[in-house]
Amino acid sequence: MRRFEGQVVVVTGAGRGIGRATAERFGAEGAQLALVSDQAEDLAQASEAMLAQGFELLAIQADISDPAQVERAVERTMERFGRIDVLVNNAGIAWEEPFLDIADANWQRIISVNLNGMFYMAQRVSRHMAKQRSGCILNMASTNGLVGEEKYAHYNASKGGVVLLTKTMALELGRYGIRVNAVCPGYIQTPMSEAIDDPEFVAAYAKDKIPLGRVGKTKDVAGVFAFLASEDAAFMTGECLVVDGGQLSS
């Protein structure tokens, strides 16, 4: 399928994990890509691999928690492509930390990337989409934004904020033809999750907590992002789709 032929798709956190898988999915369906990441090595590797697949892309190193870097990333995308049709607001960070031990700097860092950064990207991109009278913004939330989990108070709070940010954006931006939805993954195997959990924990978690009996793959989330950006989801906005193998069903 070439559902996104002629469309420009910006993906943050595109150097690895869900972001890279999502960029590859959109590229395979014909999109022109703007890959945004603050990790230079990951970004270079992802860009090289996608260029080898024949994708048209622009690679931009930027920290989305810095409004000035966000402004420049959006400007560079507009200079190269002239429009933005889809923003996959994916970049995020997480680590375990008991609530009583969370340092102020750690709280601020997670909020600044996962919530503030998502706001900066969405606002700057949607200003251009409003002039086009069309666009689609997809925010990376989490099942942790819907239910609590111990040792992730800062991450949970950031993702809960993303859920309500998404719904409010949908209310305000619909009049400009902009749809805004979020994806709430459960346990997805990514480089970030692998840095936190050992294989034995992952296997036990899948067996005990996930009805489908496995943790998610990055392509499971990439496919949902592609669906939400497609014409098949043209009457969907303000939604937060859970992709968790059934974990929250009980």
Active site residues: 155
The encoded tokens of residue 199 equal 């294989």
Closest CA to 33 of 5, 1, 67: 5
**Which residue in the block uniquely carries the two structure tokens 């900066």?**
120
Judged by DSSP in three states, 66 sits in coil
d(CA 191, CA 6): 31
d(CA 2, CA 26): 9
d(CA 73, CA 220): 27
Angle formed at CA 196 by CA 191 and CA 201, multiple of 5 degrees: 105
The encoded tokens of residue 116 equal 């503030």
Closest CA to 227 of 22, 6, 34: 22
Decide the pairing of beta strands 178-185 and 86-89.
unpaired
Radius of gyration for the alpha carbons in the chain, expressed in angstroms and rounded: 17
**Orientation angle between helical segments 104-111 and 153-173, nearest 10 degrees:** 30
